Structure 1
Amino acid sequence: MTDVPEFCRLDRRKRAIIDAARSLFVEQGFERTTLGEIVERAGGSLATVYKVFGNKDGLLEAVVFEKAASGELIIQHAFAQGGSPSEVLHRVAQGLRTHFLDPEVVALVRIVISRSVQDVDFARNFFERTAKRDHASLKTLFAYWQDLGIPMTGTPDMLSDMFLDLFFSDVHTDAISHGAGLDPSPERLRTRIDFFIRGAGLETEQVPQASA
């Protein structure tokens, strides 16, 4: 049986390997980074990498699904703070913008786009654990407001798609163009979210209250 100190040491080595791999993948790209370089930066051994992650592809999955994780928690946290639909959506937008346009996330998205061409299972897994969860969380939010009788000009499913597209289009543009022509200013974000809110019919300042 593995004792606690050994388990803790393994966990620390795993953390160091993921951190080193993420940095090198961002700096050099996935294809140009070797496991040897990762081990050299993280310490430890190749045996640990193979034991914990299986191979380089397994390590990539660990890195991607940690850093480019779902925005589900961002959406839930924004909702938990309360407020009108307009206030909540602006809060969600600020959180998603910060997350999706983080330079490391953008760099990892470039790797994901390239990897998805070669590995269909990886692409589907990434979609299931990121975009699909984001969509489900937003859909729940819109459905909650709809159930409280707040009018809106679209279904929760459609509004979730349209809201997320504002961010997916930016992160894909940034990943492909390396920021050329993209205006990431807070003013641009607020203007786009205000436009979405008006189009969705969610301009009410009413703070939703669930029935007792």
Structure 2
Amino acid sequence: MTTCVSDFCRLDRRKRAIVDAARTLFIEQGYERTTVGDIVEKAGGSLSTVYKVFGSKDGLLEAVVFEKAGSGEAIINRTMSQGGSPAAVLHRLTEELRAYFLDPEMVALVRIVISRSIEDRNFAQLFYERTATRTDRALARMFAQWQQDGVEMVGDPEMLAEIFLDLIVSDLHVEAILHGSERTHSPERVRARTEFFLAGTNLADR
């Protein structure tokens, strides 16, 4: 039993090292220019281990991308649990989701997904489902809960979720495509966008 546990732990550490090495190289060199040999050289181990655990370089890319690119659902649930008025919750959410989606590593991974989507539409669709779609649904549930609690607002929960998420994700797309832009992402501008959303939805004083 001890031997089995020890072997499992070694394999887990090896997988961790391979994924970490792959993420670093994919971001630094790009997916297409990185070979499995490059990853093995950086992580240690063997080619056979990579192919046994991940199947292919594409399988390794999936492991890298989907480990990092979880949805913002956990952020939304945590922020809601902290309580406060809808306006206060939405201001906190804007800050936290912006930091999450505009993290340099997330932006770099989105660039890889955009590139891969040309050859593999299913991969891009799966990425979208695990990120934006789950986050959008969590936001819709939040707005629906407020409605059930008697909070008056302009618009249905699904539409409000889409608009609110677009305030943040649009910046992610700009950063991913343009590798930085003249658009400012200052806290003041982000807060102004949220205030505009609150005014339009009649949630500013809620």
Alignment TM-score > 0.5, same fold? yes
Task: Give the superposition deviation at 1:182.
Answer: 2.3
Structure 1: distance between partners of 2:123 and 2:164: 25
2:142 corresponds in structure 1 to 141
Structure 2: distance between partners of 1:75 and 1:142: 11
2:21 corresponds in structure 1 to 20
- 1:23-69 alpha-carbon deviations (Å, 9 max, x no partner): 11110110001111111111111111111111000111111111122
The answer to whether the 8 A contact 1:174-1:182 is kept is: no
The answer to whether the 8 A contact 2:175-2:181 is kept is: yes
The alignment of Structure 1 onto Structure 2 pairs a total of residues equal to: 205
1:202 is paired with a residue of what secondary structure? Answer: coil
Bigger drift between 179-188 and 148-157 goes to 179-188
- Percent sequence identity over aligned pairs: 63
1:150 corresponds in structure 2 to 151
Q: CA RMSD in A?
A: 1.2
2:118 is paired with a residue of what secondary structure? Answer: helix
Structure 1: distance between partners of 2:82 and 2:180: 32
1:75 corresponds in structure 2 to 76
Structure 2: distance between partners of 1:170 and 1:19: 26
Structure 2: distance between partners of 1:5 and 1:38: 24
Structure 2: distance between partners of 1:171 and 1:182: 11
The answer to whether the 8 A contact 1:30-1:111 is kept is: yes
4+ residue segments displaced more than 4 Å: none
1:208 corresponds in structure 2 to none
Structure 2 residue 188 is the aligned partner of structure 1 residue 184: no
Aligned AA (2:28): E
